[in-house]
Structures are given as structure tokens and as C-alpha cells.
Amino acid sequence: MNMGSSGKNANGKSRLTRSFAYAFAGIRAGLKQERNLQIHLGISMAVILLGYFLHISAVEWLFICLSIGGMLAAELMNSAIERVVDLVTTEYHPLAKQAKDMAAGAVLLLAITSVVIGLVIFGPRLLLFFL
């Protein structure tokens, strides 16, 4: 990759720095504008607190972190796909509907998987707590 002599723009920011800034701007926009992403973030914080109080293992934390990261990333991708489709056409088109439905389906599959992971990790502990 050719980055010129220094890879910096007139402001002195490198391409890498700008890339991270754009990525964080996308996350901020998603958190500000997307209700489902806000819901997933709230549930994620509750799961993190539950994991802390139930003293889950390091391996269990890995599964929880992968589930949370994957879920938030999938929700951001779903929102990006919806915006691109909306940008391309304002009229109903079956392919536009399929693109949106498939993106939403991917989020749903990951949400179901995350719930199963949560049940496997937290279920036995919560059963002991309530019995």
C-alpha cells in the first residue's frame, strides 16, 4: 500500500488514525440513531454485570464477549445495509426487501445463538440461585 512519503494529510492525521475516527463515528451514529442497537447494548451491559456477579470463568467470558461483539457488529451491519438500500431506492423492490430481510435474519440468528450461549452459561447458576 502506497501511503506517500508519510501517509499523513494536511492536518497531520494518518490514514490509520482517520480510519479509526470514521469507525468510531459510525458506532456513535448507530448508538445515537438505532433503537435496536441501544437495546442490544443495554442487554449486553446487564449480561456483563450478571457475569461479574456470578463469577463466570475466563472461557465463559470469551463466549460472552464474542456474543456481545458479534451481536453489536451484526446490528451495525444490518443498519448499514438498510441505509444503503434506502439510499438506492425509495420505491418498493423485491430485491431491496430481500436484502433488508436477509440482514435482519442474520441479526436474528446471532441473537438466538447468543441467547443459547447465555442459557448454557447462566442457566445452571441461576437455577441454583432460585432453587
Known catalytic residues?
A: 75
Query: What distance in Å separates the CA atoms of residue 114 and residue 67, rounded to the nearest whole number?
Result: 5
- Where do runs of H (alpha helix) occur along the chain? 15-33, 35-53, 58-88, 94-130
Residue 82 marked in a binding site = yes
C-alpha cell at 40: 442490544
Residue 52 marked in a binding site = no
Q: Is the dihedral of CA 130, 122, 113, 71 positive or negative?
A: positive
Residue 92 marked in a binding site = yes
Query: What distance in Å separates the CA atoms of residue 28 and residue 102, rounded to the nearest whole number?
Result: 24
Q: Which residues are annotated as a binding site for ATP?
A: 15, 22, 34, 82, 91-93, 100-101
Q: Which residues are annotated as a binding site for a divalent metal cation?
A: 34, 82
Q: Which residues are annotated as a binding site?
A: 15, 22, 34, 75, 82, 91-93, 100-101
Q: Which residues are annotated as a binding site for substrate?
A: 15, 75
